[in-house]
Structure 1
Amino acid sequence: MNKAVELLNLWASYEQENPKADLAQFCQTYLASQQPESSLASFWQSPAPPDKASLLIKLIGRVSKLHTLHALAAFKECGLNSFDEFLYLSSVAYMTNPKKTDVISAHFNELSSGLLILDRLKKSGLILEQGDVHDKRTKRLTITSQGQSQLEACYQKLNEVNQLCFGGLAENQIELGIHLLQPVEATLAKHWLAAKMK
């Protein structure tokens, strides 16, 4: 059978079973169905999760952990001691004179933990803390030239780590992952911030 005809027939079947689905959803489902069945999780010390959503979150967690371990080893060469220090330094650099609480909330940390991270960056000479002209209780943050220099070095190291972790994926596969996971992150962040406000 002609491949185009076969694809149209698959789309027709999918549309019949999923009348509200669009072409993008069909394409994602089709691509996922083309992946070979394998026991990728068989090397885990613990049993594979019983459902697909649990398997997905376990994979995301393991990839994130391994990425962080590689990045942390690279960041130590740049003078940073944690991935959080890198994230906070990056936020101070790219937000406009943020308040301490803005930076901490952006990374879903508790206030006490976030203040400790900012204090370490300040003591290392990577950020400066200044009073707010409108509110004397508020502190604003800016990155120092030393902080900017170390941040740029960290980004170079991070590019190497990203290549190590994701170099085996094509650009369109990475884009698909972003497309699928970004709405999940946005929803979870919204729920977390709403719960925190309560």
Structure 2
Amino acid sequence: MNKAVELLNLWASYEQENPKADLAQFCQTYLASQAPKGSLASFWQSPLPPDKASLLIKLIGRISKLHTLHALAAFKECGLNSFDEFLYLSSVAYMTNPKKTDVISAHFNELSSGLLILDRLKKSGLILEHGDAYDKRTKRLTITSKGQSNLEACYQRLNQVNQMCFGELAEEQVELGIHLLQPIEASLAGHWLAAKLK
């Protein structure tokens, strides 16, 4: 059978079973069905999660943990001791004159933990703290030239870690992952911030 006809027949069958689905959903389902079958998690030394959502979050967690471990080893040469320090330094660099609480909230940390991270960056000479012109209680943050230099070095090393972790994926696969996961992150972040405000 002609491949185009075969694909149209698959789409017709999928559309019949999923009348509200669109072409993008069909393509994602089709690609998932083409993935090699097998025990993807046979190397884990813990029970296989009971459902696919649990398996996905476990995979995301393990990838994140392993990525962070490699990044931390790379960041040590730049004078940073945690991934949070890198994230905070990056936020201070790219947010416009941020308040301490802006930086902390952006990374879902508790206030006390966030203040400790910012204090370490300040003591290392990577950021400066200064008063707000309109509110004496508010502290604003800026990155120092040393902080900017260290941050740029961290980004270079992080690019190497990213390439090691995701270099085997095609750019389209990375874009698909972002496309699928970004709305979930935005929704969860919105719920978290709303709950925090309450």
What TM-score do the two structures reach when normalised by structure 2?
0.99
What residue is the counterpart of 2:11 in the other structure?
11
1:106 pairs with 2:120? no
**5+ residue gaps, structure 2:** none
Q: What code does the residue aligned with 2:159 have?
A: N
In structure 2, how many angstroms separate the alpha carbons of the residues matched to 1:183 and 1:122?
A: 34
**5+ residue gaps, structure 1:** none
Q: What code does the residue aligned with 1:79 have?
A: G
What residue is the counterpart of 2:64 in the other structure?
64
Question: Where does 1:31-46 land on structure 2 (aligned, <5 Å)?
Answer: 31-46=31-46
What residue is the counterpart of 1:131 in the other structure?
131
Partner SS, residue 140 of structure 1: strand
In structure 1, how many angstroms separate the alpha carbons of the residues matched to 2:40 and 2:9?
A: 31
What residue is the counterpart of 1:161 in the other structure?
161
Once the two structures are superposed, what CA deviation does each residue of 1:12-57 show, in whole Å capped at 9, x if it has no partner?
A: 0111111111111110000000001111101111011010000000
* Identity %, equivalent residues: 90
In structure 1, how many angstroms separate the alpha carbons of the residues matched to 2:38 and 2:126?
A: 47
What residue is the counterpart of 1:89 in the other structure?
89
What residue is the counterpart of 2:178 in the other structure?
178
Partner SS, residue 78 of structure 2: coil
In structure 2, how many angstroms separate the alpha carbons of the residues matched to 1:77 and 1:125?
A: 16
Partner SS, residue 42 of structure 1: coil
In structure 1, how many angstroms separate the alpha carbons of the residues matched to 2:76 and 2:38?
A: 37
In structure 2, how many angstroms separate the alpha carbons of the residues matched to 1:97 and 1:128?
A: 11
In structure 2, how many angstroms separate the alpha carbons of the residues matched to 1:152 and 1:193?
A: 30
Once the two structures are superposed, what CA deviation does each residue of 1:136-173 show, in whole Å capped at 9, x if it has no partner?
A: 00000000000000000000000000000000100000
